[in-house]
Chain A
Amino acid sequence: MAARVMNLFESIGFSWLVSIMKLFTLQNPKEQVENLIRTLGVPLFAFAVFLGAWHIGASQIETSLGKVPGPAQVWEQAGALWDEHKAEREKEAAFYERQHERNALKLEKNPNAEVRIRDYTGKPTYFDQIVTSLQTVFAGFLLASLIAIPLGIVCGLSQIMYTAMNPIIQLFKPVSPLAWLPIVTLVVSALYTSDDPLFAKSFVNSAITVTLCCLWPTLINTIVGVSSIDNDLVNVSKVLRLPWHTKIVKIVLPSALPMIFTGLRLSLGVGWMVLIAAEMLAQNPGLGKFVWDEFQNGSSQSLGRIMVAVITIGFIGFILDRLMLSLQKSFAWDKDAIVR
């Protein structure tokens, strides 16, 4: 059990946690302490230096919204956002509570009365925005992967398909999400017309914009991975006369898997970056909208709140990457391969 937990920490890059665990179980304490200083002490020191520089640097700059916030003010705003979130949740609970009481009263008087529960329509809190952003990025990323991996396999296996697709890939790969956004918005509002839509239009807009931008890394890496299969393995599949689906499942996919995962990781990173920009510009709900709203709001707290968002975005991006990395490691057939 302990060994498995340690492996997990090791695999997601938290080797200092392993050292702490080993310290508690008293395995070679001196070495563990040294290891801890190296893996945890050094980064902590660097972070402290960064905070100091931020603090000193920020206090020198006067903007129209007051001083640029230092770490302390940002921390304060993070707390304030959390408090607002809690307050909003309480309000929501109270709102439903009142409705239920009212309905109960109504039913008591007349058992056949029609009762309804109205949805709460308060404004989304900071944490709601984070959840929306995460949902959007995963929807876009999933859609992109579902297109890019099969297409990449086809292009990697067939020289003709590759020659056909390559110019298109090269043409659209460098396009910024901001250029796609107006087109996506218009196309979605033209095609996605339903009285009772399953997803909000704004959600579809952002998700498709994310898809359009995070298709390319997965596509290109899959093509490279598939087309660089060891020729001997291809010969094995020829001698065995493997049908195409067996060939793909048993030979092509496993051998291209490391490259596919590299592509997926890059894609998710790109998708997360793109999403924030798209939300900001299109006023779609999410972290990007939060940043833009605070900027427009222009109170003395706005800069601090935006900094909270910046740090959150970075932290979530980091977590997403670690998530993909541990997924990649759990799928890898070659457990000795060094993956970073």
Chain B
Amino acid sequence: MQGYLTIEQVHMDFNTPNGGTFKALDNVNLALEKGDFVSLIGHSGCGKSTVLNIVAGLLTATQGTVLLDGKEVNEPGPERAVVFQNHSLLPWLTTYQNVELAVKQVFKRSMGKKEMDEWIKHNLHLVHMDHAMDKRPGEISGGMKQRVGIARALAMRPKVLLMDEPFGALDALTRAHLQDSVMEIQADLNNTVIMITHDVDEAVLLSDRIVMMTNGPAATIGEILEIDLPRPRNRLELADDSQYNHYRAEVLRFLHERHAKPDAA
């Protein structure tokens, strides 16, 4: 398998407290080209987050490898930036300082002070958060926190952006706003992105491909759906689009019929 980011024959076993092993992932294979926006979708507990954490380097696969740009992934690092589900901003730093922490760490050799300052502000501007640079996370809303989390990840200028249910904790309207922002940024920067989601509409709207995972234990990739919709995409126009609704139905059918188990939540 060739690609910019490849996940090859990844297996993951966890040790259970009573001495056994729990097989979470069974032979996961996936390849991404540069600039691909891929969504992972599946039922709760199917191991989507495990895949993401292995790519991030926060977990080590029991078998198999992850290759990014020809190099093996074996520890976490800023070239694989993560947007965490609950933002994970440091609550004692302002939004500016949160991004600054990442920028200082990643570009401490290659950027001057002024350049860093501009880069931090540029990224906060990308997510429309320049008005709240001096606010602490406790003083801004959940959607704003998530925006800053995205700015922090983008500011690392990552090779791959990993998003772990980035909008899962937000209300529907805020989520729609953030999805639009992500599409806007993606049109600009053309990042390579893996996003975990529960939301079928979100997956179809944002992705180039949707990777549908079977239920765990021993989860693997069930089906991959190419989303061939022209960009820029507009949620209102797409609502009546037959192609869009066809993709939506495909994903729903997979989730509810082909790989749904009666005991799955």
**Residues of A bordering B, CB below 8 Å:** 230, 232-233, 235-236, 238-242, 246, 250-251, 254-255, 333-334, 336
Closest-CB distance, A88 to chain B (whole angstroms): 50
Q: At the interface, yes or no: B187 with Cβ under 8 Å from chain A?
A: no
Please determine whether A238 and B91 come into contact, CB atoms closer than 8 angstroms: no
Shortest Cβ distance from residue B250 to the other chain A in the assembled complex, whole angstroms = 34
* B223 → chain A closest CB, angstroms: 30
| Ranked 4 nearest A-B pairs via Cβ | A333-B92, A232-B88, A254-B92, A238-B76
Which of A232, A240, A251, A333 is the one whose CB lies under 8 Å from B84? Answer: A232
Given A238-B58, A334-B138, check contact A250 B77 (CB 8 Å): no
Q: CB distance B92 to A239 under 8 Å?
A: no
CB-based contact A333/B76 at 8 Å: no
Question: Does any Cβ of A come within 8 Å of B86's Cβ?
Answer: yes
Closest CB of chain B to A310's CB: distance in Å? 41
5 further A-B contacts with Cβ under 8 Å, apart from A233-B88, A242-B101, are: A233-B90, A235-B76, A239-B58, A333-B91, A334-B138
Interface membership of chain B positions 177-192, coded 1 if the CB is closer than 8 angstroms to chain A and 0 otherwise: 0000000000000000
Contact B90 A251 (CB under 8 A): yes
B residues with a Cβ closer than 8 A to A are 56-58, 76-78, 80-82, 84, 86, 88, 90-93, 101-102, 105-106, 136, 138, 156
Question: Is the beta-carbon distance between B101 and A239 smaller than 8 angstroms?
Answer: no
Known: A233-B90, A334-B91. A241 touches B77 (CB 8 A): yes
From A230, A232, A239, A255, contact of B56 by CB (8 A): A239
Q: Given the complex, which residues of A lie within 8 Å of B102, measured CB to CB? A: 240
Q: Is the CB of B82 within 8 A of A246?
A: no
Would you call A250 and B88 a contact (CB within 8 A)? Answer: no
12 residue pairs from A and B, CB less than 8 Å apart: A230-B88, A236-B90, A238-B58, A239-B56, A239-B77, A239-B81, A240-B78, A240-B106, A240-B156, A241-B78, A250-B101, A334-B91
Q: How far is the CA of A240 from the CA of B101 in the complex (A)?
A: 9
B106 lies within 8 A of A254 (CB):
no
Instruction: Summarize B's interface: helix, strand, loop or mixed.
Output: loop
A236 closest partner in B (C-beta): B88
| Residue among A240, A241, A242, A254 having the largest count of chain B Cβ atoms under 10 Å | A240
Complex CA gap A238/B105 in Å reads 12
CA separation between A282 and B102, bound complex, in Å?
55
User: B76 touching A239 by the CB < 8 A rule?
Assistant: yes
| Whole-angstrom CA separation of A188 from B247 in the bound complex | 81
Which residues of B sit under 8 angstroms from A239, Cβ to Cβ?
Answer: 56, 58, 76-78, 80-82
Task: Collect the chain B residues with CB atoms within 8 Å of residue A333's CB.
Answer: 91-92, 136
Q: Flag if B76 contacts A250 (CB, 8 Å).
A: no
**Residue numbers in B under 8 Å from A251 (CB-CB):** 90
Residue numbers in B under 8 Å from A250 (CB-CB): 90, 93, 101
B residues less than 8 Å from A255 (CB atoms):
92
One of A230, A240, A334, A336 near B105 (C-beta < 8 A):
A240
Given A240-B102, A334-B138: A235 and B90 interface contact (C-beta under 8 Å): no
Interchain CB contact (< 8 A) of A246 among B56, B81, B92, B105: B105
A residues less than 8 Å from B93 (CB atoms): 250
A235 near B91: Cβ-Cβ < 8 Å: no
Whether A241 contacts B92 in the complex (CB less than 8 A), given A333-B136, A336-B138, comes out as no
Whether A235 lies near B101 (C-beta < 8 A) is: no
Q: Which residues of B contact A236 (CB under 8 A)?
A: 84, 88, 90
Q: Are A232 and B86 in contact (CB under 8 A)?
A: yes
CB contacts (< 8 Å) of A246 on chain B: these are 105
Residues in chain A near residue B58, CB distance under 8 A: 235, 238-239
Chain B residues with CB under 8 Å of A334's CB are 91-92, 138
Q: Which of B57, B58, B80, B88 has the most CB of A within 10 A?
A: B88
Q: A209–B78 Cα gap in the complex (Å)?
A: 48
The CA-CA distance from A91 to B242 in the complex, in Å, is 103
Residue of B at shortest CB range from A232?
B88
Which residues of chain A have C-beta atoms less than 8 A from B78's C-beta?
239-241
A254 pairs with B138, CB closer than 8 A: no
Per the bound structure, the CA–CA distance linking A233 and B93 in Å amounts to 13
Q: Which residue of B lies closest to A257 (CB)?
A: B92
Contact present for A235 and B84 (CB under 8 Å): yes
Most buried by B among A235, A236, A250, A333: A236
Q: Which residues of B have CB within 8 Å of A235? A: 58, 76, 82, 84, 88
By beta carbon, the residue of chain A nearest B80 is A239
* Closest residue of A by beta carbon distance from B158: A239
| Distance in Å: Cβ of B211 to nearest Cβ of chain A | 22
Q: How far is the CB of B157 from chain A (nearest CB, A)?
A: 13
Contacts of B90 in A (CB 8 A): 233, 236, 250-251, 254
Complex CA gap A246/B93 in Å reads: 14
CB closest residue in chain B, given A250: B101
Would you give the shortest CB distance from A220 to chain B, in whole angstroms? 23
Minimum CB distance partner of B152 in chain A:
A236
Chain A contacts of B77 at CB under 8 A? Answer: 239, 241
CA distance A156 to B101 in the complex (A): 23
Q: Give chain A residues whose Cβ lies under 8 Å from the Cβ of B82.
A: 235, 239
Residue in chain B with minimal CB distance to A235: B58
User: A232 to B169, alpha carbons, bound, how many Å?
Assistant: 15
